[in-house]
Structure 1
Amino acid sequence: MSQFTTHAPTHPGPRPEEPYPVDPLTATRHLCAGAYLDETFRNECLREVYYEPKRIVAPSFGFDAVPVLAHCVKARNGALIRDAVIVGTVLVTLCAAPASLFLVLTAMAALHSTIVTYRLAKECFQRLRANEPMALGPLIIRLFFLLIGYCVVFLLFWLAVALAGTAATTTSASSIEGFIAALGAGAFLVGVLIFGGSLGFHLWRQSVLDRMMPGVALTQPVHNQRLEEVARQQRGNTTVYSGFRSYVGSGDVAGSSGFAIRLVRAVNPAARQLDGVIGRHADGSGDSEQRREFEQLPFAAQQLVDHVRERLSTLLPQRAAEEQIAGLTVEDRVCLAGTEVSQLLPYTPPDVMAAVIRHPTSPARHYLACQVFAWGGQLIPTVYVHVAVQGRSLYLEMTTTVLPPCDERFRIVDSVDGHGAAAWWRAVKTGVADAPRAIWRAPVHLASTLINMVAGQSSGQAAVTRGFDYGARVGIRELGSDTDVRYLAQSQDIAKYHKLIERRVFASVLDYLDSHDIDTSEFRSRAASVLNISGGVFASADSVTFAGPVAGRDMNGAGEQ
């Protein structure tokens, strides 16, 4: 029985040295940094993956999900402490010294309004200097909200004075100086705690980011049972998806093509000439095609899949540079709807895999996943090859998906701006500037975090309920990816890998059909049409552009050139 695994080359040779070696952990480091730099990304990772023990994890292509989720948990704990300090300080001060609290809130609101005014003035100055037009409508709206902000400052100051005056009326004249000193000391203490909570979080975050530089060993700060379960699921050979997206975890679909041909015997051209039927049956149509059908097909889908896999394995690494596609892996993968699973483990055994290939009408679909680990894992194009033999016909389909590089903000750990004195000074400025917003955001973040922690606790029930959707809705890498590639060369690489793999698949199938005395005229015609259409595919996360044909003349000859 065939073995369904990632195939190594039959005769590995010396691995060619690359002129610009890449770090295979690049994408993992970027996503770990994103856990601290982007609260939305962190919360979505926890909500969609970590707190969903009943949903099978999407496959992790080009990165390791375990350290990413571990750093998400660590960043969540740090934010939880920050929010708890701020909320606790506000509540205690509101009960014990409300006048001091409102003085601090006045200072916070004034600081925030000043920062907004500075940023607006800077933007207007830059636009005027560059002679760029300014939209009057949005500017008026921003000025209106800025005016409201200053009104809030005066309102808070008035409340602070009113509360202080009310408290002063109950204080004797000899104790006024002590009351004022206590009021100032209370406001100072509250301000230190609130500013300290925000500033301390940003300084702690910078210390963690400093340990994510290239060449520094990436650590896993948290270990628990849920992360062990994620580690088991992320490397399975089955993608269990929720909803419409069959290739969840692989990125967006950049292009897809497929066609079917009838499996009939090849006709000797000399025999056609003798029978005088060249003009009538040269296209393989009519009654002659029906007579040329096999009583029993000369091969099964499994045999063709094995042949295509074997041919593609000759392109795997550990060969001469001209003979390989660097970073290529070829593996058997099943895509299964989340409502059809029988176990909470994304693994399909070999006997079931063979049955899926033979019966492609089941909820499970078999693919040869040809994936390229490019740009150190920053770019992951995947070509899913589906082969089906049904109705005495062969159906061949290829779908290309693309995982673009991680979010630009996460790559700061690779730049000179992400480390050193400048980075620490930026952390100080950001911590102080974010303190006003942290006051009203802290209660919301604290409540949502606690709710997610409680709701995400596993019930311990391992039984699978029929009809429940256990599929992954999104992959971690997809949550942290840019909407497009970073360089033109990356876009061109997507097209290159797509065409290289597509061309080799067509050639291997053509050779196999020829070796079994099957008429390949229709296959050559349809394959040439696909190559012409997909000749200039440039893909991004949002669109696919077809930019001109590539000649399919070589499909008129032998399969392998």
Structure 2
Amino acid sequence: MTDHLIPPQPGGDHPADPRDGRPPVHPSISEAGRLLCAGTYLDGSYRDRVIDELYVHEERIAAPSYGFDATRVLAHALRARRVELAWAAGIIGAWFVGSLLTSGALALLLVPFLLLSLANWLRRRGNPFLRFLAFVLRVYVWLTVLLGLLGLLLAGTMSGSPGGFFDDFLPFGSGSSSGYRGYDGYSGYSGSGGGGSGDSTALFLWLLPLVFAGLVTLVALQRGHGARIVSRELNPTRYADQSADPVTESPRFARVRDRIRDEQRSALIMYDINEPFTGAGEPYRPWQLSVELRPRDDLGVDCKPQPVSNADILRRVVPLLQALRVPSPHGSPQAQAGVLDRLRELVVDECVFIPAAGFPHRDRAGQARAQFTAHRLGAVEEGGERRRHFLRIRVGGWDENLVVTVFVRVHTQGGMLMLEVAPHVLLPVRTDFQNADAEAQRFLNNTWLGKAVAALVATPGSFWGAVATLGRGVASWWRIVTGGHGGARPEGPRLSVREIASMDDGSLFHLMDLDRYLKTIQDRVVGGVTVALHEAGWHTAEFAQRAVHVAEGATFIQSVSNSAFSVGGTGHHNTAGGGTSGKGSNGGK
């Protein structure tokens, strides 16, 4: 048995293809990765989950990154949090200063604005009753605010005195025995009375809308800053230049970044036993088939079939898979070279799964990856439970937004052949992430009135949103300094930053491409096993017939009820029938 099923080839990360395939785009500059980076500026919940998984839990092995670079996503997530924390501190400071300038009147808006934020949260739940409750709450809040403003205006028009409304709601009164007539230094304070009360009221009625306008302007500047980051710093041309990435001067980040770079592309995958395929997406109709190895009927009396090992069978499958990269003849080399079929970028390699538990430290796990060849030689034939060898076939379509990965494992034992095929799919990145460029351009090119209205709508939730942002930042810092993650035993990945940013549903085009990739790969796998058995002198008719029957959907390892297009437990869809229940892939949606 040779050392490798796939002969070593020169070429770095994307070796030269002996069958003239086209190497896929490098994961560090893929469109899917760019959208994930943009998503860290759009969705605070998604950003927090990225930071928690890759940065806070320093003991966790990074999940394999198919079609993107997790280190770039983490770098932008940390930068997005720093930017948001700075804006949050500025907004809270503006509210504080504004409350002082208006003698506390601005702070009276915090309670109704909190209720508005609650109404928005209820409306997003989707429940009809909660949506109705949110509508009632919004109407109540706005009526209360409008009546309050009307009371302020009426108070300001009455004989130069704030009147009863101020006596009830503001921290100064029109007839206070202390002689207080407003905020000292702004109200024309006069201890003897006179015209000071009228001047104080007039100044107050001017200050309140001016201070509120300042808050709206600050919110507009914050939104504009985020839009400029997405449209300029994360545009496709700028993203291709990795040197323009945000730099985090932190020893912890440098240490985590180096580990992730080593782990996310490793052929030795260290997994959590509860979620071994984390990173590859949702299981898509995995199946297995076992058949008895019987000699062919046409063999001579003195001829015996040759024994076949797991490596022998897989080695026969690899050339058939690599041949999928070659386009059909198109009349000229130029036309043939112009074929854009993503199967030309098909990647075939080997990987070995071993559990992360058991290593004393994450760095020791890194040392084990240097021994991949030894692990591969041992795992390909042993058929173990914890250490498993797979042939991994991957196709990244739609600019790495649709990633189909098929794990193939062959095991021969006791005159039986077991073929395991575990397809997984990563559906496209969330729609709001895909629309980040368009939304940023729309905002930046909008009129001043449109920007003002958008900022005005966002202002009621600005204070409480800023408080929540600071709270999440403090909580993350607290988990870092008190969690003891740096010295903990290594764990397998709990989530993939790509999986939690995937859509729930794929379009019909996505389904058609997914089925084409999967059926083509499975046919070649079955064909390769069939040829290997036939050449060794074993009966193949039963295997070929049952393989086609099983692969077309008759029997699965674990199935659920049929749906329109279900790729797992989160509502993905596929017309081919049931999928297997998988972990949720939809964070923050």
Give the TM-score of the pair, scaled to structure 2.
Answer: 0.73
CA drift of 1:111 comes to: 12
CA drift of 1:356 comes to: 1.6
What are the residue-to-residue correspondences of 1:140-219 with 2, within 5 Å? 140-150=132-142, 153=145, 161-165=169-173, 169-170=177-178, 171=180, 172=191, 173-174=193-194, 175-177=196-198, 179-180=200-201, 183=204, 187=208, 190-191=211-212, 194-211=215-232, 212-218=234-240, 219=244
- Which residue is 1:520 aligned to? 540
Between the aligned partners of 1:163 and 1:151, the Cα distance in structure 2 is: 23
CA drift of 1:248 comes to: 0.8
- Which residue is 2:92 aligned to? 87
CA drift of 1:30 comes to: 1.2
- Which residue is 2:345 aligned to? 327
CA separation of 1:203 and 1:214: change in aligned 2, threshold 3 A: same
CA drift of 1:53 comes to: 1.0
Say whether residues 1:452 and 2:454 are aligned partners. Answer: no
Between the aligned partners of 2:322 and 2:401, the Cα distance in structure 1 is: 23
Between the aligned partners of 1:529 and 1:71, the Cα distance in structure 2 is: 47
What are the residue-to-residue correspondences of 1:195-274 with 2, within 5 Å? 195-211=216-232, 212-218=234-240, 219-223=244-248, 224-225=253-254, 226-242=256-272, 244-268=274-298
CA drift of 1:410 comes to: 1.3
Structure 1 unaligned residues grouped into runs of 5+: 121-134, 273-291, 549-561
Say whether residues 1:442 and 2:434 are aligned partners. Answer: no
Cα deviation digits, residues 11-39 of structure 1 (max 9, x gap):
3448699xxxx996211221121111222
Which of residues 89, 98, 103 in structure 2 aligns to 1:100? 103
CA drift of 1:375 comes to: 1.2
CA contact (8 A) 1:16 1:318 kept: no
CA drift of 1:385 comes to: 0.8
Between the aligned partners of 2:5 and 2:476, the Cα distance in structure 1 is: 38
- Which residue is 1:431 aligned to? 455
Which of residues 15, 18, 31 in structure 2 aligns to 1:11? 18
CA drift of 1:85 comes to: 1.9
CA contact (8 A) 2:21 2:325 kept: no
Say whether residues 1:37 and 2:57 are aligned partners. Answer: no
Which of residues 363, 367, 391 in structure 1 aligns to 2:414? 391
Q: Amino acid of the residue matched to residue 30 of structure 2?
A: L
Q: Amino acid of the residue matched to residue 447 of structure 1?
A: G
CA contact (8 A) 1:61 1:249 kept: yes
CA contact (8 A) 1:13 1:318 kept: no
Helix, strand or coil at the partner of 1:525: helix
Between the aligned partners of 2:550 and 2:84, the Cα distance in structure 1 is: 52
Helix, strand or coil at the partner of 2:531: helix
CA contact (8 A) 1:404 1:484 kept: yes
CA drift of 1:433 comes to: 1.7
Q: Amino acid of the residue matched to residue 377 of structure 1?
A: E
CA separation of 1:10 and 1:70: change in aligned 2, threshold 3 A: closer
Q: Amino acid of the residue matched to residue 18 of structure 2?
A: H
CA drift of 1:209 comes to: 1.3
CA contact (8 A) 1:87 1:443 kept: yes
CA drift of 1:268 comes to: 2.6
Cα deviation digits, residues 314-333 of structure 1 (max 9, x gap):
33469956898222101112
Q: Amino acid of the residue matched to residue 382 of structure 2?
A: H
Between the aligned partners of 1:14 and 1:353, the Cα distance in structure 2 is: 26
CA drift of 1:402 comes to: 0.9
Between the aligned partners of 2:484 and 2:130, the Cα distance in structure 1 is: 52
What do you get for the CA RMSD once the two structures are aligned? 4.2
Helix, strand or coil at the partner of 1:164: coil
CA separation of 1:532 and 1:293: change in aligned 2, threshold 3 A: farther
Q: Amino acid of the residue matched to residue 100 of structure 1?
A: S
CA contact (8 A) 2:59 2:485 kept: no
Identity %: 22
Between the aligned partners of 1:246 and 1:83, the Cα distance in structure 2 is: 39
CA separation of 1:458 and 1:359: change in aligned 2, threshold 3 A: farther
Q: Amino acid of the residue matched to residue 247 of structure 2?
A: V
CA drift of 1:202 comes to: 0.7
Say whether residues 1:504 and 2:506 are aligned partners. Answer: no
- Which residue is 2:185 aligned to? none
CA contact (8 A) 2:58 2:485 kept: no
Q: Amino acid of the residue matched to residue 275 of structure 2?
A: R
CA contact (8 A) 2:106 2:208 kept: yes
CA drift of 1:380 comes to: 0.6
CA drift of 1:505 comes to: 0.5
Helix, strand or coil at the partner of 1:376: coil
Which of residues 426, 429, 433 in structure 2 aligns to 1:406? 429
Between the aligned partners of 1:496 and 1:317, the Cα distance in structure 2 is: 16
CA contact (8 A) 1:53 1:458 kept: no
- Which residue is 1:127 aligned to? none
Between the aligned partners of 1:539 and 1:102, the Cα distance in structure 2 is: 54
CA separation of 1:414 and 1:162: change in aligned 2, threshold 3 A: closer
CA drift of 1:374 comes to: 0.7
CA contact (8 A) 2:21 2:344 kept: no
Between the aligned partners of 2:235 and 2:472, the Cα distance in structure 1 is: 31
Between the aligned partners of 1:324 and 1:188, the Cα distance in structure 2 is: 58
CA separation of 1:423 and 1:26: change in aligned 2, threshold 3 A: farther
CA drift of 1:406 comes to: 0.8
Cα deviation digits, residues 479-517 of structure 1 (max 9, x gap):
2111111x3111111000110000000111111111111
Say whether residues 1:475 and 2:489 are aligned partners. Answer: no
CA separation of 1:361 and 1:145: change in aligned 2, threshold 3 A: same
Structure 2 unaligned residues grouped into runs of 5+: 10-14, 153-164, 181-190, 329-335, 556-561, 578-589
Helix, strand or coil at the partner of 2:270: strand
CA separation of 1:113 and 1:441: change in aligned 2, threshold 3 A: closer
Cα deviation digits, residues 268-322 of structure 1 (max 9, x gap):
37879xxxxxxxxxxxxxxxxxxx998xx72322232333234322334699568
How many residues matched?
A: 501
Cα deviation digits, residues 248-268 of structure 1 (max 9, x gap):
111111111111123343233
Cα deviation digits, residues 66-105 of structure 1 (max 9, x gap):
22221111111111012112333445666x56x5333364
Between the aligned partners of 1:136 and 1:362, the Cα distance in structure 2 is: 48
Between the aligned partners of 2:206 and 2:263, the Cα distance in structure 1 is: 55
- Which residue is 1:309 aligned to? 318
Helix, strand or coil at the partner of 2:237: coil
Between the aligned partners of 1:454 and 1:250, the Cα distance in structure 2 is: 31
